[in-house]
Amino acid sequence: PMASSPAKVEFRELGNTGLKLSCVGFGASPFGNVFGQVSDDDAIASVREAFRLGINYFDTSPYYGGTLSEKVLGKALKAVGVPRHEYIVSTKCGRYIDGFDFSADRVTRSIDESLARLQLDYVDILQCHDIEFGSLDEIVNETIPALQKLKEAGKIRFLGITGLPLEIFTYVLDRVPPGTVDVILSYCHYGINDSTLEDLLPYLKSKGVGIITASPLAMGLLTESGPPSWHPASPELKSACQAAAAYCKEKGKNISKLAMQYSLSNKDISSVLVGMNSVRQVEENVAAALDLETAGKDEETLSELEAILKPVKNQTWPSGIQQR
Ligand code: NAD
């Protein structure tokens, strides 16, 4: 008597965690209104549609919208009512709307605050958020040991680190015992305009860490409507991406679909977190993943885009405090 179920996105193993993540991950930063206002109804409908299409992984942070994203995600997960063991939630610690604090004391309080906002008993993954803004030695010697205690207490299942500069990952992973850091989250480095994470993948795999990437649309650069005003890219990078989007549109293609498929095509990456705030975006991003499985990448358009973006290839922006 049930309606036939829709095709669902593929699952991929996350490092040595035993977790199986949907290859399309739900980035909930838009629920903090960082890309424009999102109503609770739209948030709930997007999460419901995500589950329907097989998405089982949701990412947030106390930083996004100054705790709003966590609250709205918690409300949506509760409203949809999927059993807790059927989905995976990651949140973060150490970055807040009023600044950074990676001390053991702060991150230990932080998880309790996050769990209350999310209305959950545990999160699957807790990540130190944008560690290039803290002391990497403090992350190694104080923050990560504090997170290990949270693991023992059952408040988190796995721990990770996130940030923009790729060197932060090698700095930390070279200084902690193997198996301590379960997962890394890298953003804006595995997409059409910047693919610098690729060179680091063999190292990360050798360390046994799970690999999640975020911002396949380069935080709005690779969309028809363009990035938000706070976007840190140079004017040159913004206009090159705008030209690439316009080229796609003229050709009857969607740049966001091409960008999603580019990020999804490397199976060493367990999940690609894309920020979503509507049922339509969920459907489009899942369709991009399903089309990739059946038809492969649109190599012709991709190489045209790579030509347009060549002058800004792998251009990034400064992030964090200088350490050394
Ligand atoms: P993104 O590249 O995923 O772009 C998001 C923007 O694209 C939003 O405006 C969204 O509404 C829009 N969008 C989504 N699907 C679309 C579609 N099909 N067509 C047109 N527009 C579409 O950038 P992001 O949201 O910053 O990154 C994704 C997620 O990754 C975040 O929500 C967050 O959970 C995570 N993230 C983490 C870090 C970190 O830990 N330091 C950094 C960046 C992102």
**pLDDT attached to residue 322:** 65
**pLDDT attached to residue 324:** 43
Distance from the alpha carbon of residue 188 to the mean position of ligand 1, in angstroms? 10
Whether the CB of 191 sits within 6 Å of ligand 1:
no
Measure the CA–CA gap between 91 and 44, rounded to whole angstroms: 18
Structure tokens at 125: 């993954």
**pLDDT attached to residue 5:** 83
Q: Which of 7, 36, 16 is nearest to 275 (CA)?
A: 36
Structure tokens at 323: 């350490």
Tens of pLDDT, residue by residue over 107-160, are: 999 999 999 999 999 999 999 999 999 999 999 999 999 999 999 999 999 999
Measure the CA–CA gap between 245 and 223, rounded to whole angstroms: 6
Q: What is the dihedral of CA 81, 83, 87, 90, to 10 degrees?
A: 70
Distance from the alpha carbon of residue 166 to the mean position of ligand 1, in angstroms? 19
Whether the CB of 62 sits within 6 Å of ligand 1:
no
Res 304 pLDDT > 90: yes
Mean pLDDT to the nearest integer, 42-57: 98
Mean pLDDT to the nearest integer, 39-53: 98
Measure the CA–CA gap between 211 and 182, rounded to whole angstroms: 9
Tens of pLDDT, residue by residue over 147-205, are: 999 999 999 999 999 999 999 999 999 999 999 999 999 999 999 999 999 999 999 99
Whether the CB of 162 sits within 6 Å of ligand 1:
yes
From atom 21 of ligand 1, which residue's Cα is the shortest distance away? 223
Mean pLDDT to the nearest integer, 81-106: 98
Percent of the chain scoring above 90 in pLDDT = 96
Distance from the alpha carbon of residue 64 to the mean position of ligand 1, in angstroms? 12
Phi, psi of 64 (to 5 degrees): -70, 110
For the question of residue 96 being annotated catalytic, the response is no
Res 41 pLDDT > 90: yes
How far apart, in Å, do the first and last CA atoms of the chain sit? 64
Distance of CA 299 to the CA centre of its chain: 25
Closest ligand 1 atom to the C-alpha of 130? 41
Contact (CB, 8 A) for 11 and 22: yes
Whether the CB of 15 sits within 6 Å of ligand 1:
no
Q: In the chain, what are the helix, strand and coil shares in percent, each to the nearest 5?
A: 45, 15, 40
Measure the CA–CA gap between 303 and 8, rounded to whole angstroms: 28
CB atoms near residue 17 (< 10 Å): 20
Superfamily of domain 11-221+257-298: NADP-dependent oxidoreductase domain (3.20.20.100)
Going by DSSP bridges, is the β-strand pair 20-22/11-13 parallel, antiparallel, or unpaired? antiparallel
Query: Would you list the domain boundaries of the chain?
Result: 11-221+257-298
From atom 9 of ligand 1, which residue's Cα is the shortest distance away? 35
